[in-house]
Structure 1
Amino acid sequence: MEMFLDGTFTPARDGRVMPVTDPTTGESFDTVPLAGPADADIAIRSAARAFETWKRTPVTERARIQKTCAAALRAAAPEVGALLSRELGRPLPGCLHEISRSAELLDIYAEEGLRLQATLSLGSATGEKTIVTRDPVGVVVAITPFNYPINLLMFKLGAALVAGCTVVAKPSEDTPLSTLKIAQIFHAAGLPAGVFNVVTGDRALGEALVAHPTPRKIAFTGSVAAGKAIAAAAAGTVKRLTLELGGQSPAIVCADADLDKAATAIARHGFANSGQFCYRVNRVYVERPVYADFLARLTAKVAAMTVAPAGGAGELGPLVNAKIFANSDQQIADARAKGGRILTGGARLTGPGFDGGYYLPPTLIADATPDMAVMREETFGPVIGLAAVDSPAEALAQANDSRFGLAAFVFTRDLARGLMLCEGLEAGSVWLNDIQRSSHFVPFGGMKESGLGREKGRYGVESYLEYKTMYLSYEVPE
């Protein structure tokens, strides 16, 4: 498949390509262009031309087109879902669910765009008026990861489009095909040429996009290290930033918690998408009186999870590539060397249907200590560390002893204690007594090194707008 620029599929200027691999077998099944700086410039120029018209398109029309795109995405779900499943390795039901949530977010952003307003100050003198309005930022570069490539793109694209911005998207090298297909679908649904462009390539392409002087904003989801590099490069032209970076999210299980409910929620959330997402449960602190009981309940639920071999059925798929697998594998080895107990999982799956991919079963590590990597660094894989604590206060202190601050989770029947812990946790989102998917209506983002800015709801749309104050003077009839 080729890049999608200015409404048409386009090869790289120099003709280079890179493979797209099926993670379940390790086999290449397609190629996409390996674009460079010249291709980045072409895409950005296309977006800049389209911006001159798109920013003047009434927001009611932008919202109408966006809702049409959402409907087209739903209609194409079987085709897009199959493509996403092939390039990501996730079982098809999870891919279809991602498409459904993505279309829902597009609709919500469109509705939030219709609620945007300017204000007129009442404090002006006679013959003067002061209007505060908002203009679209301009051309936006959206750089997205492999794990939820459609949904995390819509975090950015849906907000940018309804705000009046145009977008150049660079998907992950692992999952470019679904993004390219969506660009084609949206163009056919009525999105004008150049408003949404997709370029494919490696890190060098991302660097060229960030360094280009024309874009006014970079929206990025990915690692802390990459986010810091983007922020440093963007400072040269004072680009606006939305950075949703890594997470190392803690859960606190108090002695009075509903242990079965807590175990169910942590197992479901911690191992969804084979642990390949940023705000999953990574580490758990359990009060000592219920530690053994909770470990037994959680182990039983996790051990019952199924991993789908190539061509087979199951709840979880493989990790997307060798690098992602190696991170989990190294954290398991580190925990073993430091005295951690492997309760379930812990070793790569092999045999028919597994040998071609990086399959790791859901893994629980008990008696984890603060010096273990699984308790300090993002895993991005199906591994959870667990530790006993003597009090909720100790759990809170250990939970906050981290450079990350994306999400956190608390389980207790005592509402006052739960609210105290939620308020004390240094995280952008906190869940009490259950773990639902993050809502599309409220802000999502992190504290500390987990990022800058917020996405979703009106908060996401507003991050693609600049305030403008207009001072008006006029003659007052006598």
Structure 2
Amino acid sequence: MADSDIVCISPIDGRELVRRPIMSETAIDSTIASAREAQKAWRNTSLSERAGKVSAFLDALLAMNQEVVPEIAQQMGRPVRYGGEFRGVEERARHMIGIAEKSLHPIPADDEKPGFRRMIKREPVGLVLVIAPWNYPYLTAINTIVPALMAGNAVLLKHASQTVLAGERFQMAMDRAGMPKGLFQNLHLSHDQTSRILGSGLVDHCNFTGSVSGGRAIERAAAGTFTSLGLELGGKDPAYVREDANIDHAIENLVDGAFFNSGQCCCGIERIYVHEKHYDRFVEGAIDLVNTYVLGNPLDETTTLGPMAHKRFADLVRQQNAEAVAKGAKAHIDAKKFPADAGNSAYLAPQVLTDVDHAMSVMREESFGPTVGIMKVKGDEEAIRLMNDSPYGLSAAIWTSDVDAAEAIGEKLETGTVFMNRCDYLDPALAWTGVRDTGRGASLSRLAYDSLTRPKSYHLRQI
């Protein structure tokens, strides 16, 4: 493989699916210059005009769904039966378009002073670089692309090599919508080129979704440039099933939350704490449900669990499972029931582990795969302590019939989002954020516009 190429290897069969040459340095500089020029005009357009163009882009993207669904399966392994990501894409995009006027409206001074006009306006930061991941190639990117454009910015997109076609789909939709030339540009960049762009201060804001190590590399590259950063990094999201939970609902939703997309979800459930009253029933129900999964080719409509995006990701989960069993955990799923898992490919059988503890990496380090550990707890205090025993903090889910109890527990959890009786979902009206090694900054909600704009104060005195 040439160093100048970006290559996607399909997890379906390990064969090369897509190859693209990386951009030349001259092309990069020209692209950035054209984006700057386009942004000068775009920032002066009305919000209604921006909304019309961004909505046209969204419509053009949604019209590609039939082609996109199998492309996602081929690139990163999600089964076609689930129909892609565009329902969530549309929900998030239309919400952010809808709240733009209110979110970007000038903020009057807290107190009135006769003879003065005082306010804070929101101005676009300028040029926004979006570095998008492969696990949800459209959903994650849309979180920043739409509000960035609505706020009056230009956008550069660097997509993961595993989902290089998603970046090209974004560009195609922008072009079909008649977006101003240069305002949005999809770039094929190497890691070194991305670091150069950040280190040279050529962009004003960067949003990165990926690993903790990747986030640290982004911070190092941007150090000293004063480029603002939004980082959504690792997670080890917990769930707690209380004594008053609807146990059948909890089993169904938590199994889906742990194994959908082969566990490759930023806010997927990776560890479950169950009240001792429900523990045996929960474990039995979870095992029964997981055993109904069909591991296979994601292009097959009968497949409910596709391969992981790459063999090395599957190997990491295999290592975590093996370590847990070696330390005394019990593995409940017989891999032989999932013949597609030959032990040496991206195809990995799901696994449910019990007799686990926090000395095992599967309960503390990100798995990002189809495995989950289940622990018995005596009550809220023990569950809270264990849920907080993690270097990450993206979301946490509580299964209970008591809303007040869920809120009270949530106040003690060190996390970005607290769910009750659901998981693995982003509400576009709420900020998507994390604590600790999960990152910094916020996307979605009106707070997303704060990171994509800068305040400008007006203190106007009449004489």
Query: What TM-score, normalized by structure 2, do the two folds share?
Result: 0.93
What is the DSSP-based 3-state SS (H/G/I as helix, E as strand, rest coil) of the residue aligned with 2:443? coil
Query: Of 159, 167, 174, which aligns to 2:147?
Result: 159
Deviation at 1:467, TM superposition (A): 0.5
Alpha-carbon distance in structure 2 between the residues aligned to 1:280 and 1:210:
30
- State the AA in 1 paired with 2:134: F
**Corresponding residue number in structure 1 for 2:329:** 340
Query: Of 236, 247, 254, which aligns to 1:248?
Result: 236
Deviation at 1:30, TM superposition (A): 2.3
Change (3 A) 1:462 1:348: farther
1:108 paired to 2:95: yes
**Corresponding residue number in structure 2 for 1:426:** 414
Change (3 A) 1:123 1:407: closer
Residue pair 2:236, 2:269 contacting (<8 A) in 1 also: yes
Residue pair 2:99, 2:446 contacting (<8 A) in 1 also: yes
**Corresponding residue number in structure 2 for 1:317:** 306
1:175 paired to 2:147: no
**Corresponding residue number in structure 1 for 2:218:** 230
Query: Of 211, 220, 229, which aligns to 2:199?
Result: 211
Alpha-carbon distance in structure 2 between the residues aligned to 1:119 and 1:89:
46
1:308 paired to 2:296: yes
Alpha-carbon distance in structure 1 between the residues aligned to 2:313 and 2:385:
29
Alpha-carbon distance in structure 2 between the residues aligned to 1:86 and 1:383:
22
Alpha-carbon distance in structure 2 between the residues aligned to 1:346 and 1:404:
29
**Corresponding residue number in structure 2 for 1:326:** 315
Deviation at 1:124, TM superposition (A): 5.9
**Corresponding residue number in structure 1 for 2:75:** 87
Query: Of 16, 33, 45, which aligns to 2:21?
Result: 33
What is the DSSP-based 3-state SS (H/G/I as helix, E as strand, rest coil) of the residue aligned with 1:457? coil
Residue pair 1:319, 1:360 contacting (<8 A) in 2 also: yes
What is the DSSP-based 3-state SS (H/G/I as helix, E as strand, rest coil) of the residue aligned with 1:430? strand
Alpha-carbon distance in structure 2 between the residues aligned to 1:345 and 1:56:
61
Alpha-carbon distance in structure 2 between the residues aligned to 1:347 and 1:53:
61
What is the DSSP-based 3-state SS (H/G/I as helix, E as strand, rest coil) of the residue aligned with 1:225? helix
Alpha-carbon distance in structure 1 between the residues aligned to 2:156 and 2:56:
20
Residue pair 1:252, 1:395 contacting (<8 A) in 2 also: yes
Residue by residue over 1:141-167, the C-alpha shift from the partner in whole angstroms, topping out at 9 and shown as x without a partner, is 110110001111100101100000111
Within 5 A, what are the aligned runs for 1:26-175? 26-35=14-23, 37-94=25-82, 96-115=83-102, 116-121=104-109, 123=111, 125-175=113-163
Change (3 A) 1:347 1:130: farther
- State the AA in 2 paired with 1:293: R
1:198 paired to 2:186: yes
Residue pair 1:257, 1:412 contacting (<8 A) in 2 also: yes
What is the DSSP-based 3-state SS (H/G/I as helix, E as strand, rest coil) of the residue aligned with 1:289? coil
Residue by residue over 1:67-126, the C-alpha shift from the partner in whole angstroms, topping out at 9 and shown as x without a partner, is 1111111212112223222212212243x3402321332222211212221134374655
1:442 paired to 2:430: yes
Structure 2: where are the runs of 5+ without partners? none
Alpha-carbon distance in structure 2 between the residues aligned to 1:160 and 1:394:
42
Residue by residue over 1:233-268, the C-alpha shift from the partner in whole angstroms, topping out at 9 and shown as x without a partner, is 323111111111111011112233222111111101
Change (3 A) 1:413 1:105: closer
Deviation larger for 39-48 or 391-400:
39-48
Deviation larger for 81-90 or 39-48:
39-48
- State the AA in 1 paired with 2:324: A
1:378 paired to 2:384: no
Change (3 A) 1:458 1:404: same
What is the DSSP-based 3-state SS (H/G/I as helix, E as strand, rest coil) of the residue aligned with 1:286? strand
Query: Of 378, 387, 390, which aligns to 1:402?
Result: 390
The count of corresponding residues between Structure 1 and Structure 2 is: 460
Provide the aligned C-alpha RMSD in A. Answer: 2.3
Deviation larger for 257-266 or 374-383:
257-266
**Corresponding residue number in structure 1 for 2:174:** 186
Residue by residue over 1:192-226, the C-alpha shift from the partner in whole angstroms, topping out at 9 and shown as x without a partner, is 11111111234223312322312110101111121
Alpha-carbon distance in structure 2 between the residues aligned to 1:289 and 1:333:
29
Alpha-carbon distance in structure 1 between the residues aligned to 2:53 and 2:337:
46
- State the AA in 2 paired with 1:340: A
Residue pair 2:353, 2:372 contacting (<8 A) in 1 also: yes
Residue pair 1:41, 1:212 contacting (<8 A) in 2 also: no
**Corresponding residue number in structure 2 for 1:7:** none
Change (3 A) 1:345 1:111: farther
Structure 1: where are the runs of 5+ without partners? 1-13
Alpha-carbon distance in structure 1 between the residues aligned to 2:255 and 2:317:
17
